[in-house]
Structure 1
Amino acid sequence: MTEAELYTVYKGVYVPTHLHPAESLKFYEEFSFRPDDIIIVTYPKSGTTWMQELVPLIMSGVPWLEVHRAYILNLEERPSPRMFATHFHYNMMPTSFFKVKPKAKVLYVMRNPKDVFTSSFHYYGMASYLVKPGSQTEFLHKFLEGKGVDGLYPLKC
């Protein structure tokens, strides 16, 4: 399948339509952050799950803010401090993220881009909701040009 068949362009970045239908992106846009919220921000395949396990040894059930089931989990009603995860870039954050004072705490995780590329290449090969990666060379060009899911790999914070 092609990018047009599997992805939605959200704020200039491909996101899998299967995980991010219109209602979940609407929920994400309207989500209200609190000053004591904790947001784990990672590029895919950069240690997200690892961070979700390390940080919240006492907390459980860390939801993804932008995926299709987030809007049915009553996240607004969760007691503080809340913890969420996202792969969305800084410029994709909802308006409330920039308005909450003091700012919510952000844990930004980066991983060696070579490792991210290798992990992504294999993940694309097995995930049914992603375009098949093609050869490593083809996938490398897409990865370096930011034409895959989640856009260009961030080389700086």
Structure 2
Amino acid sequence: MTCQKLYLGPLTDNRRWDMITVRPDDVIVVTPPKCGTTWMQTIVALLLSGDPHVETELSLKMPWVDIRFREISEVADRLEAMTHRRSMKSHTPMDGLPLDDHAQYICVFRHPLDAHFSFRNHVQNISVPLFDDRYPKDDAGGTTFRRFLEGAADGDDCDAAPLAHILQHYTAARALSDRPNVSLFHYADMTRDLAGVFAKMSALLGISHPAAVMKRLIEAATFDNMKQNAASYAPGGGTGFYRSDAAFFHSGSSGQWRGRLSDDEVAAYDAMMDAYLAPEDRAWLEHGAVGL
């Protein structure tokens, strides 16, 4: 991978993309962790199939290429054998991915503090102790948030979703957003206007469905429906990877961090955000279109 930045973490390795031949009609969902990845993948699966009851099976049918849980040769062979339009996901920033001129790159973001607290819940819900040192259950000393602020965008820190990694995702995607095949979405906008997101995605993918079908697809992608049918929608659902599949969809709301941080912690976060981003970029990253 000579043209892309290296992102090599304890769990992920973006060099695995060297084994994947990107096709012009591929759809690649690119997000920091816990920013609406599964939600957007589900929207893509629903639109590609036109079936509100589609078995998404995201881990196999729309794989996370970067993660080293499966041999990359097996993932690459499975993708190569697919004759239908494919979709994949990545938690690698855009400057670490192969950039095809025609494949669609769908980048999704969320208020960094909401993403952080969602990741805290995620860590407590997985059945293997992957991040216990960074996300201790008893955290009276504020270790978790301090590491969120101090962690690097790459290397050993990147898989733990530090703020620097989220900011790197955003700046790398924003730098390419003038390309017609790189699109930025925000979790808050998906919450406010899911039908509008479906309409935009339909246009990007060049897919249309009758209004009655679209209505059923949108209903299938609501947070409540996905949570109620978590074993079907959570990646790896029904396998025992999570202590609770439903808890994967912990909260579809924004602002869950309010009242859970000290004034000093909020001030440190504000300082880092203001140092990295212009005011309009910070407003969008935190709140989506309503922030502008």
Q: Which amino acid aligns with 1:103?
A: H
What's the secondary structure of 1:120's corresponding residue? helix
Q: 1:29 to 1:82 in 2, by over 3 A?
A: same
Conservation of the 8 A alpha-carbon contact between 1:39 and 1:86: yes
Please say if residues 7 and 92 of structure 2, whose CA atoms lie closer than 8 Å, have aligned partners that are also in contact.
no
Please say which structure displays the higher CA radius of gyration.
Answer: 2
Equivalent of 1:76, from 76, 80, 89? Answer: 80
Give the aligned partner of residue 197 of structure 2. Answer: none
Alpha-carbon distance between aligned partners in 1 of 2:166 and 2:16, rounded to the nearest angstrom:
25
> 2: distance between equivalents of 1:34 and 1:111?
28
Quote the RMSD (CA, aligned, Å). Answer: 2.6
Match of 2:150 in 1: 145
Q: Which moved more, 1:61-70 or 1:48-57?
A: 61-70
Higher strand share: 1
Shift of 1:33: 0.8
| 1:65 equivalent in structure 2 | 65
Q: Given that residues 144 and 153 in structure 1 are in contact (C-alpha distance below 8 angstroms), is that contact kept between their aligned partners in structure 2?
A: no
Structure 2: any 5+ residue segments left out of the alignment?
A: 175-292
Q: Is 1:54 equivalent to 2:43 in the alignment?
A: yes
CA displacement 1:119-147 (0-9 Å, x = unmatched): 11222334422243132722112112334
Where has structure 1 moved over 6 Å in runs of 4 or more? Answer: none
Pairwise CA distance, 1:116: 0.5
* Residue 44 of structure 1 pairs with residue 46 of structure 2: no
Distance 2:96 2:115 in 1: 21
Letter in 2 for 1:153: I
Describe how 1:5-154 pairs up with structure 2 within 5 A. Answer: 11-12=6-7, 14-16=9-11, 20=12, 27-57=16-46, 58=49, 60=56, 61-67=61-67, 68-69=69-70, 70-73=72-75, 74=77, 75-93=79-97, 97-98=98-99, 100=100, 102-127=101-126, 128-132=129-133, 133-134=135-136, 135=139, 137-147=142-152, 148=157, 149=159, 150=161, 152-154=165-167
Structure 1: unaligned runs, 5 residues or longer:
1-9
8 Å CA contact retained: 2:30, 2:90: yes
Bigger RCO of structures 1 and 2 (CA < 8 A, at least 6 apart):
1
**CA 13–115 in structure 1, closer or farther in 2 if over 3 Å, else same:** farther
Could you report, residue by residue, the CA deviation over 1:59-114 in whole angstroms, capped at 9, with x for unpaired residues?
74211112232531421221242100111112221xxx23x3x3310110001111
Secondary structure of the corresponding residue to residue 120 of structure 2: helix
Q: Distance in 1 between matches of 2:110 and 2:130?
A: 24
Going by fraction, where is helix more abundant, 1 or 2? 2
Task: Give TM-score, length-normalised by structure 1.
Answer: 0.72
